[in-house]
Amino acid sequence: FSPLTRTYRVSRGGLTQTFESLDAALPIVKDIIEWRVADLATLYEYDPEDLDARVRMRLDLTKLPKPLQVSIGGNSDWNLESDWESVPVPPMRSAS
């Protein structure tokens, strides 16, 4: 959130988008695409039934703007981390 312009800025890869509201920005943040978590060739070595994917998110305080990092100090309220969530592993397509 940029207080000066009162807009939300989302950067993903080389693309940066600006939104007028949090409701408009959230769908972009929630849509994770092309997130490589494993080498496809390695996954083909396993039976899909044996694969278990889980994810959790945390706030990396070092990525926040420096003035905000200083104002946070040692405040533990900013140590945000989600619980582990299971993610369905889709059936693998045949290698071509």
Within a domain: 2:
no
Would 46 be classed as within a structural domain?
A: yes
For residue 56, being part of any structural domain is answered with yes
Quick check: helix, strand or coil at residue 9? strand
The total domain count for the chain is: 1
**Angstrom distance (rounded) from CA 48 to CA 66:** 44
Instruction: Give the integer Cα–Cα distance in Å for 93 and 32.
Output: 20
Question: Tens digit of pLDDT per residue, the chain (96 long)?
Answer: 888 898 998 887 788 999 999 899 888 887 777 777 777 778 778 887 788 888 888 888 777 777 777 777 677 677 778 899 888 777 766 655
Please indicate, yes or no, if residue 1 is contained in any of the structural domains: no
Q: What 3 state SS string does 12-37 have?
A: ECCEEEEECCHHHHHHHHHCCCCCCC
Domain hosting residue 66, numbered range = 8-86
Q: Would you say residue 95 lies in a domain?
A: no
